Amino acid sequence: MNNEFAVELAQIEKIYHTRHFFIKNDDTGKRRFYERKTIHAVKSVEFGVRRGEILGLLGPNGAGKTTCVKMISGLVRPSAGKVFVEGMHVEKNRLKVLRHIGVVLEGTRTVIWPLTPLENLCYFGNLRNVRGKVVKKRGKELLDFIGLKDKMHTQVRRLSRGQRQRLAICIALIADPSVILLDEPTTGLDVQSSRAIREKVVEMTRELGKSVLVTTHDMHIAQRLCDRIGIIDKGELITCRRTDDLLEVFADQTYEIRLDDMPDPVPYKSIPGVHDAAVEQDGVGGPMLVLRVSDDENERSEALYRVIARLQSEGRILRTITQRQQTLENVFLRLTQSTI
């Protein structure tokens, strides 16, 4: 346990056991079929959310992100390892821990549709011991902060999806928690709503000093929003580092060489210093030979000279050479699947 972290996961494992009854077996045609499956959803995951930071957790579908969020908020018990929130062991101090956490799970099911936003906030505030005038005042302030003041007295069922999502964030904040867990807060929202939510999350962290864990599939949001990024794939944490560092690790390494016609990338792969080569077409100009080259400056220089010499010997017209701007999306794809 480390004091610098508001949330800490230590060697966390989660194994789900599922049982299926009354399934028809296609081979035998029998209807009563019992099947037991074990799903290793999270494997020895270790990371922490520092105080006052926004940590993004990215990963493909089924990677284990929601499971992590649920384990932090005490909704799911880890099969092994410990989760600490504000220094408290979640399993041993569930009720105390819950006072420090505000969570928005996937979708907007936490919002009660026949009530108005203000009524929702009073209801959830009451459940968390924020009562009377205090809850009303805080509720109004939050609705104002998130841009829902004019919908304060409109039934939730008459709100748009983005407005409901904003309300879900207010509900998570009503008891003034120090840790906020947001599971895909911008999925399905339009550009304006996602941007508004992104700005609010930043404001919340910087001005109100919250520690935030956010899971998302939106790479643009993650790149702009998160101080650090953890990438999880098939239950394993592949990396967790500062967003800038993550982008830098993969910078300088990919070059796009635009040509007049399509080269065969295979021979280029065997040039020393070239780690990978592929041909891509983006419909803008001619085809591109995309090369991933060595980190080492000398090796890289040598490799590029050899590539150019080979292109020249093949009689190709070289239009442009550019260094590919590294985006989180590229980094993510390279870490989670074999792409250049």
Ligand X SMILES: Nc1ncnc2c1ncn2[C@@H]1O[C@H](COP(=O)(O)OP(=O)(O)OP(=O)(O)O)[C@@H](O)[C@H]1O
Contact positions vs ligand X (CB under 6 A): 16, 18, 39, 41, 59, 61-67
Closest separation in Å from C-beta 231 to ligand X: 11
Closest separation in Å from C-beta 215 to Mg ion: 6
258 contact choice in Mg ion, ligand X, none (CB below 5 to 8 Å, kind-dependent): none
Give the binding range for Mg ion (CB under 5 A) out of 44-52, 57-65, 252-260, 263-271.
Answer: 57-65
178 contact choice in ligand X, Mg ion, none (CB below 5 to 8 Å, kind-dependent): none
270 contact choice in Mg ion, ligand X, none (CB below 5 to 8 Å, kind-dependent): none
Asked if 228 contacts 55 with a C-beta cutoff of 8 angstroms, the reply is: yes
| Cβ neighbours around 168 below 10 Å, total | 22
Backbone Cα Rg of the chain: 25
108 lines the binding site for Mg ion (CB under 5 A)? no
73 lines the binding site for Mg ion (CB under 5 A)? no
Query: What sign has the CA pseudo-torsion 219, 223, 225, 229?
Result: positive
CA distance 219 to 224: 9
222 contact choice in ligand X, Mg ion, none (CB below 5 to 8 Å, kind-dependent): none
Closest separation in Å from C-beta 65 to Mg ion: 5
Closest separation in Å from C-beta 42 to Mg ion: 12
67 lines the binding site for Mg ion (CB under 5 A)? no
Using the minimum distance from each CB to ligand X, give the nearer residue, 112 or 335.
335
Phi, psi of 178 (to 5 degrees): -90, -20
CA distance 317 to 307: 13
340 contact choice in ligand X, Mg ion, none (CB below 5 to 8 Å, kind-dependent): none
Q: Tell me the residue nearest to Mg ion as measured from the CB.
A: 66
216 contact choice in Mg ion, ligand X, none (CB below 5 to 8 Å, kind-dependent): none
Give the 3-state secondary structure of residue 289: strand
Query: What sign has the CA pseudo-torsion 336, 220, 217, 199?
Result: positive
Using the minimum distance from each CB to Mg ion, give the nearer residue, 226 or 274.
226
Closest separation in Å from C-beta 16 to ligand X: 3
The per-residue b/e assignment along 191-205, b for 16 or more CB within 10 angstroms, e otherwise, is eebbebbbebbeebb
Give the 3-state secondary structure of residue 227: coil
Longest dimension (CA), the chain: 81
Block residue for tokens 């384990």: 71
Using the minimum distance from each CB to Mg ion, give the nearer residue, 66 or 205.
66
Q: Which of 66, 165, 194, 223 binds Mg ion (CB under 5 A)?
A: 66
Asked if 82 contacts 45 with a C-beta cutoff of 8 angstroms, the reply is: no
216 lines the binding site for Mg ion (CB under 5 A)? no
59 contact choice in Mg ion, ligand X, none (CB below 5 to 8 Å, kind-dependent): ligand X
CA distance 141 to 149: 8
Closest separation in Å from C-beta 127 to ligand X: 24
Asked if 293 contacts 303 with a C-beta cutoff of 8 angstroms, the reply is: yes
Closest separation in Å from C-beta 66 to ligand X: 3
CA distance 108 to 89: 28
Interface residues with Mg ion (CB under 5 A) are 65-66
